[in-house]
């Protein structure tokens, strides 16, 4: 309030203002720097685990589904429900994976049932990990996307954001509702074991390996029999997934989503979010300037 | 029925009675600790609040004992309901707070000084009740709401929004503090808070800009779920612009209503100046919106989805019609037309938020979500908390006695209003 009246321009920036702006600017630069550093954090995926699902080799026995239930500590599938037939028909809080039986029209015009195992795709750049405000979802060094009980606040943004509808919420739990999703048996793969479902597969329809090799294998199989393998899913969709599907059925008949971009989904948000530090700096400076001009005018004019 | 069920039902009934009792106390204080003047007014007013809060007590108790699945219609396919939409609506409505503070403290448009306190209080209530209140009901693990402070994930829009909301609530506390300090008579502390207000206001404007737009960015990641009528790469910009429009409208609405209900004189130029300020932003918003829809070729969806098309049409009409009032100079100079233009704008922006967070997500998720009665009662309760606290503050705090009002009236007589309005025009500089 009591600024010197005689030399309007002698103290164009007071020490206090200078310090204030300086501190604000430096902290913002720090934020910007950390943000841009973190952007380059997305390392290479060559050490990530991946699974090739060759649906032409799947007999729909649901041994994978059973193994997953057993690993989670549930009793396995009742014996009568092994083999073909409608199961739950969707992922639920209990089932991290299930075998979907799709009615498709075969080459001879007849309808037939084809099995397709569904589970978390373990995207190379997962939407769920990018949206979680508290890092309760994370991608481990083995490429598994896992959910952490200790951090989750139950906001359910991961359920909204997942393009494959994978995370499931424990709606009935009033105090500590959990999110359940396939964790790619991260504890097992860390110990050098196969994921439960892959280990249970009797026909070799599921093949676990390093992401590069699995992708190469998938492309080799397509190249060997291009007429047979009309579908390779997971090499491009949302920037690539750790689970890759090969099939002789067109992708839209398999119930896999066909309306997803080929670029990683988190980029859609990041394009905007990366600009935020500049908006903060720019707007902060402009408003400080305006405020200073207006107050000077008020005192001198 | 097990013993536990009986206990839980008893708990809900007890909570309902407790909240109804709170409503009686609130009404008593709202009446100025007197008996209501007329019996029928008491039955209608008190009865309504007691019923609403009684049901609210039942609803809150049910939510916290039975869980989200039992009391809401949310599903795995439709995980965000109207409680999340309430956050979006409340924060858009609260935009009047940062806007008025910016005009009064940064641009120093003195005409807005008298309405500053009611609007800051309204914004404060919106933030605490819609952003924090609705989230505490909505979050599955509400007791971990502080988690973003310690567990950082800066690539998440929601992380950024939660930080902005926390910081901006602090800013609003600083802006609101002088009202309480003046009441308590702590004048040294009041002067100190007054001295640090401008930097805080600037921080508040920056934070608001970032998180009003980020509420739109929340939906950037669901291009396959949100209908093209609302999904746009520009959605952060559109959210920010509509928040500014809504902020002007809210400032008109709150100040007109507050000064009218509590029988305080208000310079009519305040409302018309706000309406003048709103017009260019509303035009810019509508222009961008229409250009964006045309560029993305999204208009066909209006006819492809009946419900969404209807909701979209209503939203656009509510935002377009006031423009005709605002652009007609014969009308825009009158405060009742300014007020009349503000109401459809507020409803239009709220409808926009509901469309983005609810209606526009229905087709692609294949769900038919409609909120349960408990979800609706909780929202109505949060709104009524805001109104009651505002009423109590207007009665017991110096909400309409900003110290600067007296100071300026004293220094430049009655012409003050005119001069300040003229300051808006650059030719007077």
Q: Convert the pLDDT of each residue in A80-120 to its tens digit.
A: 777 666 655 689 998 999 999 888 887 677 888 889 999 99
Contacts B203 to A, Cβ<8 Å: 284
Q: Are residues A207 and A116 in the same domain?
A: yes
pLDDT value of residue B4: 83
* Residue A30 binned pLDDT confidence (cut-offs 50, 70, 90): low
In this structure, are residues B273 and B421 in contact, taking their beta carbons and an 8 Å threshold?
yes
Residue A43 pLDDT: 56
Which of B108, B145, B155, B231 to mutate to test binding with chain A, by most A CBs within 10 Å of its CB?
Answer: B155
A174 → closest Cβ in B67, B102, B161 = B67
Residue B252, domain member (yes or no): yes
Same domain, B118 and B1: no
Q: What's the rounded Cα separation, in Å, for the pair B400 and B233?
A: 42
Minimum distance, in Å, between the CA of residue A132 and any CA atom of chain B: 6
**Same domain (yes/no): B61, B91:** no
**Mean pLDDT across A262-269:** 94
CB-based contact, A274 to chain B, within 8 Å: no
pLDDT band at residue B425 using 50, 70 and 90 as cut-offs: very low
CB atoms within 10 A of CB B142: 15
Structure tokens at A252: 């839209």
Of B205 and B424, more confident: B205
Q: Let me know if residue A275 belongs to a domain.
A: yes
Highest mean pLDDT among A67-81, B256-270, B316-330, B361-375: B361-375
| A127, A163 Cβ separation under 8 angstroms | yes
Residue A301 pLDDT:
57
What's the whole-number average pLDDT of chain A? 85
Domain end call among B40, B66, B92: B66
B206-247 pLDDT, tens digit each: 999 999 999 999 999 999 999 999 999 999 999 999 999 999
A145 in a structural domain:
no
Q: Measured between CB atoms, which of A134, A160, A174 is closest to B65?
A: A174
- Reported as a pLDDT band with limits 50, 70 and 90, residue B41 is confident
pLDDT at B195: 87
Model confidence over B151-165: pLDDT tens digits?
Answer: 999 899 999 999 999
Containing H/E element for A88?
none
Domain check: are A116 and A225 in the same one?
Answer: yes
Give me the residue from B77, B147, B221 closest to A131, CB to CB.
B221
Give the pLDDT of residue B428. Answer: 33
- Whether B320 and B414 map to the same domain: the answer is yes
CATH code of A182's domain: 3.30.70.20
pLDDT tens figures, A160-190: 999 999 999 999 999 999 999 999 999 999 9
The pLDDT-based confidence of A298 (bands split at 50, 70, 90) is confident
B348 membership: H or E segment, kind and range: helix B335-357
User: Taking CB atoms and an 8 Å limit, are B210 and A280 in contact across chains?
Assistant: yes
Give the tens place of pLDDT for each residue, A194-227: 999 999 999 999 999 999 999 999 999 999 999 9
Does residue A38 sit within a domain?
A: no
pLDDT of residue B52: 96
* Predicted confidence band of residue A8 (pLDDT cuts 50, 70, 90): very low
Average predicted confidence (pLDDT) for chain B:
90
Closest chain A CA to residue B74: A171
Give the model's pLDDT for residue A27.
58
User: Looking at the domain assignment, is residue A84 inside a domain?
Assistant: yes
**Does any CB of chain B come closer than 8 Å to the CB of residue A154?**
yes
Contact criterion met (CB below 8 Å) for A188 and A194: yes
From the list A151, A261, A294, the residue facing B223 with the nearest CB is: A261
Domain with A274, as residue range(s), is: 266-301
Instruction: Residue count of chain B, please give it.
Output: 429
Cα torsion B293, B355, B89, A265: sign: negative
Does A151 map to a domain? no
Query: Does residue A42 sit within a domain?
Result: no
pLDDT at position A125 is 95
Picking from B66, B92, B120, the residue at the C-terminal end of a domain is B66
In this complex, do A156 and B79 lie within 8 Å of one another by their Cβ atoms? yes
- A220 with A301, same domain: the answer is no
Q: How confident is the model at residue B180 (pLDDT cuts 50, 70, 90)?
A: very high
Nearest Cα residue in chain A from B366: A165
Nearest CA in chain B to A170: B69
Contact (CB<8Å) B151/A134: yes
Structural domain includes residue B213: yes
Q: Please say whether the beta carbons of B90 and B161 come within 8 A.
A: no
Which A positions 101-140 lie with beta carbon below 8 A of chain B?
Answer: 127, 130-136
CA distances for B422 relative to A2, B100, B249, B267, B271, angstroms: 26, 18, 21, 15, 15
Tokens linked to B365: 């998720």
Dig out the tokens for B295 from the structure: 């560029």
Q: Are residues B101 and B116 in contact, defined by beta-carbon separation less than 8 angstroms?
A: yes
Q: Please write the tens of the pLDDT for every residue from B44-97.
A: 888 999 999 999 999 999 999 999 999 999 999 999 999 999 999 999 999 999
What is the rounded average pLDDT of the residues B100-106? 94
Q: Look at residue A45 and tell me whether its pLDDT is greater than 80.
A: no
- Which pLDDT belongs to residue B50? 94
For residues B54 and B104, state if they share a domain: no
Work out the minimum CA distance from A220 to partner chain B, whole angstroms: 31
Confidence of residue A248 (pLDDT cuts 50, 70, 90): very high
User: Between chains, do A131 and B156 touch, taking CB under 8 Å as contact?
Assistant: yes
B138, closest residue in chain A (CA to CA) = A155
Mutate to test the interface with B, among A39, A176, A269 (most CBs of B within 10 A): A269
Residue position matching structure tokens 């110096």: B398
pLDDT band at B329 (very low <50, low <70, confident <90, very high): confident
Q: Tell me whether strands A49-54 and A206-210 are parallel, antiparallel or unpaired.
A: antiparallel
**B111, B269 contact by CB (below 8 A):** yes
pLDDT in tens, B250-269: 999 999 999 998 888 888 89
Question: What are the two backbone dihedrals, phi and then psi, of residue A78, each rounded to the nearest 5 degrees?
Answer: -65, 145
- The pair of structure tokens assigned to B150 is 């310690």
Residue A36 within a domain: no
CB contact under 8 A, B144 and A295: no
Please indicate, yes or no, whether residues A290 and A247 belong to a single structural domain of this protein.
Answer: no
Band of residue B429 on the pLDDT scale cut at 50, 70, 90: very low
3-state secondary structure of B399: coil
**Quick one: what percent of chain B has pLDDT higher than 70?**
93
Pairs of residues, one from chain A and one from chain B, whose beta carbons lie less than 8 Å apart: 166
Nearest chain B CA: its distance from A224 CA (Å): 34
Q: Which tokens sit at B76?
A: 């795995």
Across the interface, whether the CB atoms of A160 and B80 are under 8 A apart is answered: yes
Residue A280: pLDDT over 50: yes
Clarify whether residues A300 and A231 are in a common domain: no
B323, B119, B308: which is closest to B230 by C-alpha? B308
pLDDT attached to residue A84: 67
Nearest CA in chain B to A176: B141
CB contact under 8 A, B76 and A159: yes
Cβ atoms of A100 and A245 within 8 Å: the answer is: no
**Residue A259's pLDDT band (boundaries 50, 70, 90)?**
very high
Please state the ipTM of this predicted complex: 0.90
Residue B214 in domain = yes
Contact between residue A122 and residue A186 where contact means Cβ atoms under 8 Å apart = no
**Separation between Cα atoms, residue B6 and residue B12, nearest integer Å:** 10
Q: What percent of chain A has pLDDT over 70?
A: 82
Please tell me if residue A296 touches chain B, with a CB cutoff of 8 Å: no
In this prediction, residue A25 carries a pLDDT of: 55
Q: Do both A272 and A248 map to the same domain?
A: no
Q: Specify if B72 maps to a domain.
A: no
Is residue B193, in this structure, part of any structural domain at all? yes
CA geometry: angle at B238 spanning B323 and B316, to 5°?
40
Q: What share of residues in chain A are helix, strand, coil (percent, to 5)?
A: 40, 15, 45
**Closest CB from A35, A163, A272 relative to B220:** A272
Do the chains contact at B153 and A169, CB–CB below 8 Å?
A: no
Structural domain includes residue B324: yes
Mean pLDDT calculated for residue range B272-294:
96
How many structural domains comprise chain B? 2
Pair (B18, B117) in one structural domain: no
CB contact under 8 A, B209 and A279: yes
Chain B residue with the nearest C-alpha to that of A279: B210
Whole-number pLDDT of residue A32: 54
- Cβ of B210 within 8 Å of Cβ of A154? The answer is no
Q: Hey, are the CB atoms on B224 and A163 less than 8 Å from each other?
A: yes
Helix/strand/coil for B368: coil
Q: Is residue B136, in this structure, part of any structural domain at all?
A: yes
**Residues of chain A with C-beta less than 8 angstroms from the C-beta of B77:** 165
Query: In chain A, which residues have their Cβ closer than 8 Å to the Cβ of B159?
Result: 133-134
Q: Which residue has the higher pLDDT, A142 or A46?
A: A142
| pLDDT score of A38 more than 70 | no
Whole-angstrom distance, CA of residue B95 vs CA of residue B225: 27
Q: Do B341 and B306 reside in the same domain of the chain?
A: yes
Q: Supply the range of the domain harboring residue B60.
A: 1-66
- Residue indicated by tokens 């600009």: A275
How many structural domains comprise chain A? 2
């Amino acid at each position: 309030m009591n600024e010197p009246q005689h030399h309007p321009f002698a103290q164009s920036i007071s020490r206090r203002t200078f310090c204030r702006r300086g501190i604000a600017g430096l902290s913002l630069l720090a934020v910007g720097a950390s943000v841009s550093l973190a952007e380059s954090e997305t390392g290479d995926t060559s050490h990530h685990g991946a699974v090739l699902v060759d649906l032409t080799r799947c007999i729909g026995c649901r041994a994978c589904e059973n193994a997953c239930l057993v690993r989670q500590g549930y009793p396995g599938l009742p014996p009568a429900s092994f083999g073909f037939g409608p199961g739950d028909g969707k992922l639920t809080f209990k089932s991290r994976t299930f075998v979907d039986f799709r009615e498709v029209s075969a080459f001879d015009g007849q309808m037939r049932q084809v099995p397709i195992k569904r589970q978390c795709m373990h995207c190379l750049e997962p939407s769920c990990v990018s949206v979680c405000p508290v890092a309760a979802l994370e991608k481990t060094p083995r490429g598994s996307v896992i959910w952490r009980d200790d951090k989750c606040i139950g906001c359910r943004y991961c359920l909204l954001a997942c393009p494959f509808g994978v995370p499931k919420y424990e709606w009935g739990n009033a105090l500590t509702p959990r999110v359940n999703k396939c964790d790619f048996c991260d504890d097992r793969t860390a110990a050098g074991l196969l994921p439960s479902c892959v280990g249970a597969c009797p026909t070799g329809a599921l093949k676990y390996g390093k992401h590069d090799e699995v992708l190469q294998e998938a492309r080799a199989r397509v190249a060997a029999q291009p007429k047979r393998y009309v579908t390779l899913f997971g090499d491009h969709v949302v920037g690539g997934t750790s689970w890759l599907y090969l099939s002789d059925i067109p992708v839209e008949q398999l119930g896999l989503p066909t309306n997803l971009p080929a670029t990683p989904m988190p980029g859609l948000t990041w394009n905007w979010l990366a600009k935020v530090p500049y908006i903060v700096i720019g707007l902060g400076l402009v408003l400080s300037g305006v405020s200073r001009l207006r107050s000077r005018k008020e005192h001198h004019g | 029925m097990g013993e536990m069920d009986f206990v839980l039902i008893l708990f809900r009934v007890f909570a309902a009675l407790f909240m109804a009792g709170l409503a009686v106390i609130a009404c008593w204080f709202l009446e100025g600790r007197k008996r209501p003047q007329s019996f029928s007014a008491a039955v209608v007013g008190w009865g309504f609040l007691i019923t609403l809060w009684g049901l609210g007590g039942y609803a809150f108790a049910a939510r916290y004992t039975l869980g989200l699945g039992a009391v809401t219609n949310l599903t795995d396919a439709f995980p965000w309901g109207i409680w999340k939409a309430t956050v979006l609506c409340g924060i858009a409505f609260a935009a009047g707070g940062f806007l008025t503070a910016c005009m009064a403290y940064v641009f120093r448009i003195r005409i807005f000084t008298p309405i500053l306190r009611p609007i800051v209080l309204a914004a404060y209530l919106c933030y605490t009740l819609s952003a924090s209140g609705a989230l505490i009901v909505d979050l599955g693990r509400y007791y971990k709401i502080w988690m973003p402070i310690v567990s950082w994930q800066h690539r998440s829009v929601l992380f950024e929004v939660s930080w902005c909301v926390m910081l901006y609530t602090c800013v609003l506390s600083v802006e609101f503090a002088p009202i309480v300090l003046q009441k308590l008579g702590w004048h040294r502390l009041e002067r100190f808070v007054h001295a640090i207000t401008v930097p805080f206001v600037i921080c508040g404007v920056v934070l608001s800009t970032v998180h009003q737009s980020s509420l739109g960015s929340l939906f950037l990641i669901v291009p396959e779920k949100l209908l093209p009528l609302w999904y746009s790469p520009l959605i952060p910009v559109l959210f920010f612009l509509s928040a500014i429009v809504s902020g002007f409208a809210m400032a008109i609405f709150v100040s007109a209503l507050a000064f009218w209900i509590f029988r305080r004189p208000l310079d009519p130029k305040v409302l018309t100046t706000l309406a003048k300020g709103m017009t260019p932003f509303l035009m810019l918003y509508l222009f961008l919106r229409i250009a964006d829809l045309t560029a993305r070729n999204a208009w066909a969806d209006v006819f492809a989805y009946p419900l969404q098309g209807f909701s979209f049409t209503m939203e656009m009409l509510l935002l377009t019609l006031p423009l005709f009032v605002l652009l007609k100079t014969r009308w825009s100079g009158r405060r009742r037309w300014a007020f009349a233009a503000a109401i459809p704008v507020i409803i239009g922006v709220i409808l926009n938020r509901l469309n983005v967070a609810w209606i526009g997500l229905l087709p692609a998720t294949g769900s038919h979500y409609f909120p349960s009665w408990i979800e609706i009662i909780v929202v109505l309760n949060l709104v009524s908390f805001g109104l009651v606290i505002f009423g109590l503050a207007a009665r017991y705090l110096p909400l309409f006695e900003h110290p600067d009002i007296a100071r300026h009236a004293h220094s430049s007589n009655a012409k003050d209003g005119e001069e300040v309005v003229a300051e808006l025009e650059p030719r007077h500089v």
